[in-house]
Structure 1
Amino acid sequence: MPRHQTVNERTLWRPAEATDVVLLGGTDRLRDDIARIAAAAGLALRPESPREAPVSAAGATPVLLGTGYARVPRTSAEVIVVGFIDEAPALWDLAASTGAGRVAVLPDGAAWLAEYLSRTWRRETTGKLVAVHGASGGVGASALAGWLAATAARSGTATVLVDGDPLGGGLSSAMGAADVPGLVWPDLTEVQGTVNPVQLAASLPAIAGFSLLSWPGTGEAFLPETPAIDTAAAIMAAAAGAFGLVVIDAGRLGTGHDIGSPADDIVLLTRADCRSRRAAATAVTAAVGTGANVHVVVRGPLPAGTDEQLIADGLGVPLAGYLPHLRAVPACQRDGRLPELASNRRIRSLCASVLDRLDTGHKPGRLP
């Protein structure tokens, strides 16, 4: 996959809680092979001498044992014995003496080990998935999703914005990323099996501090090719493994493409007029059925005699914030300048409130 960020930028995509692969014992040949396998899983090898003190708890990533390490490692992580086929008897003896639960015999076991390391790492480093839905068309869900992503990224959270609507014309143009090189959804339609989180993150276009996985806004007279549900689910799992926050511009409930990954939280954006509130009530019923935590953002202007809290109370879901009417939004969306509005005081206040409510790891003190 192509890389478009600098080395310093790429280091930001790796979650702070990710753990290197620890290898105890083994030959130089084994260390070289395990280093390549770890890299394929999006991790780095940290070899340690068998003469050094045993490692302490290493988190979720398994500890690998090579021949030459005869002691039982003091670790709460899973232990896997690794080595080559010509030393298979010694590997099984080592597994028995140390209580290791698995043995990976190379070279045949290399593919399994890479996938297993990648899968266990992602399971413990899953970021929060937040889907932004509009109760009705044209309410501004794409803009809100982009502002949430920009605000979270500015506060220090590794963030990706995912375009969940293949027929929406592509988020990249509205976000000013149409000419930024990187992968888009159709580039991933042929992906099979698991997806390396680090490679995915490094291959996406970056704008305003966050990454973007968009549908292309080509304007061509044909439908874009969409990935199968299993493929989309693997891509979303990789995104959640590489980023602390995944913001999905999900369009109207029931109309977007199934990306095969349920959201942890749903932010429903609705206007305040009677028709929009009726549509929002139906959308809330559908959203609650997904099992996600549902929150509502009310978009102004407000009719006389009501306020955003009354509207949220009528819908029966918590109020996440109020989005004022901003005349600059259509022009900014047309010109690819939507992220600029994230610095607007009212937008910034709304997004900070929403991110805090969703417990996304947002750090209010880091906002300018």
Structure 2
Amino acid sequence: MPLLPPPSRPPRPLVVSTDEPLLDEVLRLLAAAGAEPELATGGPALRRAHREAPLVLLGADALAAGALRTLPRRPGVVVVAGGELPPAEWAAAVEVGAERVAVLPADEGWLLDRAAAAVRAPVPRGPLVVVGGACGGAGASTVAAAVALAAPGGAVLVDADVWGGGLDLLLGAELVEGLRWPGLTGLRGRVAGEALLAALPEVGRVHLLAADRGSATPIPDEALVAVVDAVRATGRAVVVDLPRPGPEGPGAGPQGVLADADLAVLVVPARLRSATAARLLVGAPGSPWSSARLVVRAVPGGLDADDVAEVVERPLLGVVPHDRGAVARAERGEPPGATARSPLGGVARRVLAALPEEDDR
């Protein structure tokens, strides 16, 4: 009988320190992060662990050790100190290529998150789709909701239009408990994605971050980027419903998510004036919508979808047919139809199919 290979061992962070009080604190934090560390201060064990560890935590006391100076630079090195470093030790931290100096106890939370991320199995970053309308009432929110509902494995639908009345109304989720935007506008930087998802309302397989219905609370670009990055880090798809450009022009608004989007979708009603507005939007110098693809919403007596695409000079992804019952269903709180046989569901699946492959993101 062939021998079975030994079970793979989870990655172990390397800790280099002989400062007992500091070492106790670091080991406590690693235990809380679910990480079993490896301790080494020199010799072949240090060289091997330094090469293989997903994260290297250097006590400030180890910065003067000669063994560290012989090791090559590598990413994922953090210096941990029990107080502010003097200039000489700061210079040594720079010399070893430390990404950060974590001072305890002030940086405990950051160090805990960093250690947990280092030992977690890598997850492919989720795709990002942004949806906007060429004009008011284009139907961008409906398309965005349909794309989120059609995403395999679920998605997170983010409402970035503070004047839209709240996407939870569109999905019939206004009474579902969970965080809305006013509670998250102060976010900056690194955010724990799974904790964020657990706090959001959920409708089917869609987690929803809706705008406030009580007041049009501005959403800082930094907070929007922090939310989107945190969710994408969990591997989930993110669909952002963007507000239409205001009088400041197409370059205004949430620049961070537009710049990072894997696919920008512009929804255009099949009218000449709407198509012309879309052409101005994608053609403006420096416009973040310049690479957008089009979804055309058919209107009675309107233009043909191919004619709209010709005016806008952007590729056509799909056409949402005119649906006389859509308004009545929305008023009843019924989510947009994204079933396999519905026309809107077909458009949503074509949008998802247009996303680049994982390796190209």
SS at match of 2:49: coil
Per the alignment, residue 22 of structure 1 pairs with 13
* Aligned with 2:329 (options 318, 329, 332): 332
SS at match of 2:169: helix
Preserved contact between residue 160 and residue 245 of structure 1 (Cα < 8 Å) = yes
Per the alignment, residue 296 of structure 2 pairs with 298
Query: Is 1:321 aligned to residue 318 of structure 2?
Result: yes
Q: What code does the residue aligned with 1:251 have? A: P
Preserved contact between residue 54 and residue 73 of structure 1 (Cα < 8 Å) = no
With the length of structure 2 as denominator, give the TM-score of the two structures.
0.70
**Deviation (angstroms), 1:274:** 2.4
Per the alignment, residue 278 of structure 1 pairs with 276
**Deviation (angstroms), 1:193:** 3.9
Greater RCO, 1 or 2 (C-alpha within 8 Å, sep 6+): 1
Preserved contact between residue 272 and residue 298 of structure 1 (Cα < 8 Å) = yes
With the length of structure 1 as denominator, give the TM-score of the two structures.
0.69
Taking the aligned partners of 1:181 and 1:266, their CA distance within structure 2 comes to 30
SS at match of 1:270: strand
Query: Is 1:196 aligned to residue 191 of structure 2?
Result: yes
Per the alignment, residue 162 of structure 1 pairs with 158
Preserved contact between residue 135 and residue 269 of structure 1 (Cα < 8 Å) = yes
Per the alignment, residue 258 of structure 1 pairs with 253
Per the alignment, residue 37 of structure 2 pairs with 47
Query: Closer, same or farther in 2 for the Cα pair 1:320/1:192, shift >3 Å?
Result: closer
> RMSD of the TM alignment (CA)?
4.3
Query: Closer, same or farther in 2 for the Cα pair 1:192/1:298, shift >3 Å?
Result: closer
**Deviation (angstroms), 1:105:** 5.8
Cα deviation, 1:130-187, whole Å, max 9, x if unaligned, reads 22111222221111000111112xx12x622111211211110111221221110111
Per the alignment, residue 107 of structure 2 pairs with 110
Taking the aligned partners of 2:217 and 2:287, their CA distance within structure 1 comes to 29
SS at match of 2:240: strand
Taking the aligned partners of 2:170 and 2:242, their CA distance within structure 1 comes to 15
SS at match of 1:297: strand
Preserved contact between residue 173 and residue 203 of structure 2 (Cα < 8 Å) = yes
Per the alignment, residue 239 of structure 2 pairs with 247
Cα deviation, 1:217-273, whole Å, max 9, x if unaligned, reads 35xxxx333244444444444344445432111132337993452412321111223
Cα deviation, 1:82-115, whole Å, max 9, x if unaligned, reads 36469x99xx7xx78x945367464256259539
Per the alignment, residue 148 of structure 1 pairs with 147
SS at match of 2:242: strand
Per the alignment, residue 183 of structure 2 pairs with 187
Preserved contact between residue 82 and residue 105 of structure 2 (Cα < 8 Å) = no
Taking the aligned partners of 1:258 and 1:352, their CA distance within structure 2 comes to 27
State how 1:84-99 maps to structure 2 within 5 Å. 84=82, 99=96
Per the alignment, residue 309 of structure 1 pairs with 306
Preserved contact between residue 135 and residue 252 of structure 1 (Cα < 8 Å) = yes
**Deviation (angstroms), 1:297:** 0.8
Per the alignment, residue 4 of structure 2 pairs with none
Structure 2: give runs of 5+ residues left out of the alignment.
1-9, 18-22
Preserved contact between residue 265 and residue 292 of structure 2 (Cα < 8 Å) = yes
Preserved contact between residue 330 and residue 336 of structure 2 (Cα < 8 Å) = no
Preserved contact between residue 230 and residue 260 of structure 1 (Cα < 8 Å) = no
Preserved contact between residue 23 and residue 46 of structure 1 (Cα < 8 Å) = no
Taking the aligned partners of 1:321 and 1:231, their CA distance within structure 2 comes to 32
**Deviation (angstroms), 1:32:** 1.0
Query: Closer, same or farther in 2 for the Cα pair 1:206/1:345, shift >3 Å?
Result: same
Q: What code does the residue aligned with 2:136 have? A: G
Q: What code does the residue aligned with 2:265 have? A: V
Q: What code does the residue aligned with 2:206 have? A: F
Taking the aligned partners of 1:115 and 1:289, their CA distance within structure 2 comes to 40
Query: Is 1:63 aligned to residue 56 of structure 2?
Result: yes
Query: Is 1:217 aligned to residue 213 of structure 2?
Result: yes
Count of residue pairs the alignment pairs up: 320
* Aligned with 1:352 (options 339, 349, 354): 349
Taking the aligned partners of 1:55 and 1:241, their CA distance within structure 2 comes to 26
Preserved contact between residue 244 and residue 360 of structure 1 (Cα < 8 Å) = no
Per the alignment, residue 206 of structure 1 pairs with 202
